[in-house]
């Protein structure tokens, strides 16, 4: 059970990081288009 919980935690953290990066890139593109 501990192994499954560890994998779930890693997947969750990785998903959050990827989501943050995508949002940052999207926001940067929006700012660049307004210039």
Using only the alpha carbons of the chain, give its radius of gyration.
15
Dist CA 22 CA 31 (whole Å): 14
What's the number of domains the chain is made of? 1
Structure confidence at residue 2 (pLDDT): 87
Residue corresponding to tokens 């192994």: 3
| Residue 26 domain boundaries | 1-35
pTM: 0.63
pLDDT digits (tens, 9 = 90+) for 1-35: 689 999 999 999 999 999 999 999 999 999 988 87
Geometric angle at alpha carbon 26, from 20 and 28, rounded to 5° = 100
Structure confidence at residue 34 (pLDDT): 82
Structure confidence at residue 22 (pLDDT): 98
């Amino acid at each position: 059970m501990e192994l499954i919980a560890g994998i779930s935690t890693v997947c969750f953290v990785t998903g959050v990081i990827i989501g943050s990066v995508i949002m940052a890139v999207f926001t940067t593109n929006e700012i660049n288009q307004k210039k």
